[in-house]
Amino acid sequence: MNQPTSESREEILAFLRQHQPFRDMGAFALNALAGKLTPLEIASGQFILTPGEVPPDLFIIASGRVQARLAGDVSLLDPPLYELEPGQAFPLAAVAAKRPSIAIYSAVDAVRVWRLASADFSELLFSSCEFNRFVLDHVAGLLDQARHQIELQFGQRNADQQSLNSQLSTFLRPNVISVAAQTPIRRTIDTMVQAKVGSVVIADADNRPLGIFTQSDAIRRVVAADYPATAPVEEVMTSPVATISAHATAYDAMLAMATHGIRHLVIVDADDRVAGVVSERDLFAMQRIGLRNVRKVISAANTIEDLAQAAADVRRLCLNMLNQGVSAEKLTQFISGLNDSLTRRVIEISLLHHDLFGLDWAWLAFGSEGRDEQTFSTDQDNGIIFVCPDFADRDALQLRFLDFAREVNEGLARCGFPLCKGNIMASNPQWCLTQDEWQGCFTQWIRTPEPEALLNATIFFDFRTLYGNDALAKALRKWLLDMTANAKLFLRFMAENAVKATPPLGMIRDFVFDSHAEFPHTLDLKAYGARPFVDAARIIALASGIPHSSTVERLRAAASQGKLGGDDINAVIEAFFFIQQLRLRNQRAGTPPGAENRVNPDTLNELDRQVLKESFKQAKRLQSRLQLEYRL
C-alpha cells in the first residue's frame, strides 16, 4: 500500500537540483514542479505502477530501487527489463503520450517516490522548455535504443529470403551447444572454441536453460578476474537467462536485445526446453543479406524493365523500414542511396546505346536529390555538365548528350521517378551545358535576383554528381561559393524570400491553417515545415563558403564555424528530421494526391503535436537569424 510521507519543499528542491533534467530547469518551473509532487513510500515487492492506470502518473525515485518488467505474457523476457535508481523518472514516454505503460514497475526494496499527476505533467511540459527537451530526448532515446539494430542493416520482404517477420524457428541450428552446470570453465571454453560459437547454454537434466556463458563472460568474469578455470561454469554464467519462444519473430528478438541490453537470447520450445540460440550477429547477418540482395538486383539488371522491378522492391523495403520506426535521417539517406544506385544503373544501360566514350562530363542531381533528402514522393531534377574540346562543334556535342539524356529521363520515369513538370531535366537544352554556360546561368541569377532567378537558385544551387567526372561539379561549386561570398544583395533577396515561408505557429492556437480548399485544417509540412530549414541552411552555406549540399551537413558545418551563435544544433537537426518523418508517414500508399506533404494536427497524439510545435519554433529561430543578419 502506498503511504504518503511528509517532506518540505526545500528538501524536495535540494534533491531535484542534484539530478537531470531538474537541475537545468529554471527556478520558477522547478518550484512549480516541487509544489505539485506528492511523496509516497512503497514497501519492498509492492507494485508502483501497472498498465491498468490510464493515463499514468509520473514517478520520480527519491530512494531505493525500482524494477520494470514487461506486462502480460513475459515469456519473451523473464528477467527484469532494467532497474531504476534515485533521481530517475518513469514512465516518461507513456505519460507524455497518455497511453498505458507497457511495463509493470515494482519496488525492489523499500522505495520513496514523488508522484506527479498526469494533468500536472502536461502543464509542466508546456511551461518548462528544459523539461520538454528532456522528455523529448528521453523518448527519442528509447526509440533509438529499441531500433538501433534495425537501423544498422535493413531486410527486404521477399518470399525467398528471411525478414524481420520471419519466425526464429525458421533458422534454428541443429545440435545446439549446451553443457551441464558443473562443467569446468576450461572445458566449456574449449567446447566453444571447437564448435566455433560465441556462446553455450547451461542446461539442467531436462534440457531447460539455467544460464548462458558467452565470450564476453569469459573475458570479464574469468580472464580479467583471474577466476580459476577449474571452477564450474555455473559460477560465472549469466543467470537467469533471457529466453524467447521459437514462434517469436526476428523483430521480437531484435527488440528484446535492444531493450534488455544483451547480445544473445536462448530460444525455447513449447516445453521451455532449449531449442537454439539467436545472437545479435545472426540478426545482423540476416539483414545484410536483405540489403545486399537489393543492391545486387540493381547492379545485375540489364534492362530498364529489370530496374523497374528493383525500384518497386526498393519502395517496399523503405515502407517496411518506415513501419518499423526507422528514423527519418536513416530512411532518407537509405532512399537517396538506393535511388542513386538505380539512377547510375539506368545511365550505364543507356550508355550502351550512345557513343560518349572519351568525353568529359557528369550527370548532376538537383533539388532534394542533390541534397540527399529524397522522400517517397519525388520527381526528377537533373542536368548535365560537359566539356567541349576546342576542336569539337559545341551544338553537335550537346545534341549527342541530349539524345542520351532523353533515354535516361524516360528510363527513370519507367522506374517510378516522374518526369519533372517544370522540365528541370538533362534532356532540356537549358540544363545540358558546359561549365562556362552553367557559370553564366548562375552569374545571371546572382546579379539579377528576380523571383524566377531566386526560385532557380533554390533548386540548382543544391547539386551533386551522380555519375561521371565529379571534378567538374567540385570546380563549379568552388566557383559558385567564391561568387556568393560577396554577393550581399543577392543573399539578402534570398533571405527575404526564405522568411516568407513562415512556420504555421499561432499566437493563441497552436497552429494556423492555410486556406487550402481541398484539404482544410491541414498543415503543409514541405512548404512551411522543411523548407525554412532547407532555405536557411542554403543561404548560410553560400555566405560562409560551406561546400556541402545536404541541409544537415550545411547546418553542422555552420555550427562548427560559429555561424549559428548559441543555437543548439542538435535540437535544430532533430526538429528538421521530425518534420521529415511526418512527411514520410504521409507518403504511404493510399494518401490522396496533393496531400503527400500535408498533415491534420488533430490526428497526431499529444506528444507528436508538441514535438511538431517545437520543430516549427526551431524553424522560426533560423528565420529570425536570417532577419537579424540581413536586417529584414
Looking at residue 409, its pLDDT comes to 97
Q: Do 505 and 610 belong together in one domain?
A: yes
Q: Answer whether residue 377 shows pLDDT above 90.
A: no
Q: Do 416 and 554 belong together in one domain?
A: no
State the average pLDDT over residues 490-504: 94
- % of the chain at pLDDT higher than 90: 45
Q: Do 274 and 193 belong together in one domain?
A: yes
Q: Do 13 and 119 belong together in one domain?
A: yes
Q: Answer whether residue 502 shows pLDDT above 70.
A: yes
- pLDDT category at 173 given cuts 50, 70, 90 is low
209 closest CA partner among 372, 79, 90, 314:
79
- Note the residue count of the chain: 632
How far from 1 is each of 54, 100, 375, CA to CA, in Å? 19, 21, 52
Q: What is the pLDDT of residues 204-220, one digit of tens each?
A: 999 999 999 998 888 88
In a domain, 395, yes or no: yes
In a domain, 320, yes or no: no
In a domain, 602, yes or no: yes
Q: Which of 74, 105, 130 is the last residue of a domain?
A: 130
In a domain, 377, yes or no: yes
Q: Do 81 and 114 belong together in one domain?
A: yes
Give the 3-state secondary structure of residue 13: helix
27 closest CA partner among 171, 122, 125, 130:
130
Q: Do 278 and 386 belong together in one domain?
A: no
In a domain, 591, yes or no: yes
Q: Using CA atoms, how far apart are residues 358 and 354, in angstroms rounded to an integer?
A: 12
- pLDDT category at 24 given cuts 50, 70, 90 is confident
Domain count, the chain: 4
Q: Answer whether residue 102 shows pLDDT above 80.
A: no
Q: Do 106 and 216 belong together in one domain?
A: no
State the average pLDDT over residues 367-386: 89
Higher pLDDT, 41 or 262: 41
The answer to whether the CB of 77 falls within 8 A of the CB of 61 is no
In a domain, 144, yes or no: no
Q: Which of 285, 316, 351 is the last residue of a domain?
A: 285
> Per-residue b/e over 546-576, b at no fewer than 16 CB within 10 Å?
bebbbbbbbbbbbbeeebbeebeeebbbbbb
State the average pLDDT over residues 556-583: 86
> Per-residue b/e over 207-239, b at no fewer than 16 CB within 10 Å?
bebbbbbbeebbeebbeeeeeeeeebbbebbbe
In a domain, 295, yes or no: no
Q: Using CA atoms, how far apart are residues 497 and 452, in angstroms rounded to an integer?
A: 11
Q: What is the CATH number of the domain that holds 272?
A: 3.10.580.10
Q: Do 460 and 498 belong together in one domain?
A: no
Looking at residue 146, its pLDDT comes to 38
The cell numbers describing 466, all together, are 551522380
Handedness of CA 340, 342, 344, 350 (dihedral sign): negative
Higher pLDDT, 554 or 149: 554
Checking 399-407 for CB contacts under 8 A at 24+ apart, the result is 400/354, 400/355, 400/356, 401/356, 401/361, 401/426, 401/432, 402/426, 402/427, 402/429, 402/432, 403/354, 404/350, 404/351, 404/353, 404/354, 404/356, 405/432, 407/350, 407/353, 407/354
Lowest mean pLDDT among 273-282, 318-327, 496-505: 318-327
Q: Do 502 and 399 belong together in one domain?
A: no
Q: Do 504 and 463 belong together in one domain?
A: no
Structural domain of residue 421, as residue ranges? 327-444+456-474
Q: Do 7 and 80 belong together in one domain?
A: yes
Q: Do 549 and 467 belong together in one domain?
A: no
Q: What is the pLDDT of residues 57-67, one digit of tens each?
A: 999 999 999 98
Q: What is the CATH number of the domain that holds 365?
A: 3.30.460.10
In a domain, 154, yes or no: no
Looking at residue 334, its pLDDT comes to 77
How far from 462 is each of 458, 481, 520, CA to CA, in Å? 7, 12, 32
Q: Answer whether residue 471 shows pLDDT above 90.
A: yes
Looking at residue 2, its pLDDT comes to 53
Looking at residue 147, its pLDDT comes to 41
Q: Which of 260, 285, 310 is the last residue of a domain?
A: 285
Q: What is the mean pLDDT of the chain?
A: 84
